[in-house]
Structure 1
Amino acid sequence: MFRTIEGLPPGVLGLEAHGRVTHADYRDSLTPQLEAAAAHGPVSMIYAIAEDFEGFDLEAMWDDASVGLRHWKDFRRVAVVADQAWLRTAVSLFAPIYPCEFRLFKRSELAAAKDWNARPPETK
Structure 2
Amino acid sequence: MSQQHGFSIGIGRMNDEFVIHMKAFGTLTHEDYKTITPMLEGAFQQVKHPHVKVLADMTHLEGWELHAAWDDFKLALKYGSHFEKVALIGAQPWQDALAKIAGWFIGAKVEQFSEYSQAKAWLFENERA
| Fold in common (TM above 0.5) | yes
For residues 115 and 36 of structure 1, what CA distance do their matches in structure 2 show? 28
For residues 7 and 38 of structure 1, what CA distance do their matches in structure 2 show? 11
| Alpha carbons of structure 1 residues 100 and 28: separation in structure 2 relative to 1, 3 Å | same
Kindly state the Cα deviation for residue 95 of structure 1 after the two structures are TM-superposed.
1.8
User: Deviations for 1:14-71, whole angstroms, at most 9, x for unmatched residues?
Assistant: 1111112111111102x233223323112111222133x3321111100111100011
Kindly state the Cα deviation for residue 7 of structure 1 after the two structures are TM-superposed.
8.9
User: Is the Cα contact below 8 Å between 2:19 and 2:52 reproduced in 1?
Assistant: yes
Which residue of structure 2 aligns with residue 38 of structure 1? 44
For residues 35 and 24 of structure 1, what CA distance do their matches in structure 2 show? 16
Where does 1:12-27 land on structure 2 (aligned, <5 Å)? 12-27=19-34
Unaligned segments of structure 2, at least 5 residues: 1-5
Kindly state the Cα deviation for residue 89 of structure 1 after the two structures are TM-superposed.
1.5
| Alpha carbons of structure 1 residues 63 and 119: separation in structure 2 relative to 1, 3 Å | same
Q: Which has the larger radius of gyration?
A: 2
Kindly state the Cα deviation for residue 74 of structure 1 after the two structures are TM-superposed.
1.2
Which residue of structure 2 aligns with residue 110 of structure 1? 116
Unaligned segments of structure 1, at least 5 residues: none
Greater share of strand = 2
TM-score by length of 1: 0.76
Where does 1:78-97 land on structure 2 (aligned, <5 Å)? 78-96=86-104
| Alpha carbons of structure 1 residues 7 and 73: separation in structure 2 relative to 1, 3 Å | closer
SS state at 1:99 partner? coil
CA RMSD of aligned residues (A): 2.6
User: Deviations for 1:58-99, whole angstroms, at most 9, x for unmatched residues?
Assistant: 111001111000112111211111211122223224425532
The one-letter code matched in structure 1 to 2:117 is A
TM-score by length of 2: 0.74
| Alpha carbons of structure 1 residues 26 and 5: separation in structure 2 relative to 1, 3 Å | same
Structure with larger RCO (C-alpha < 8 A, sep 6+): 1
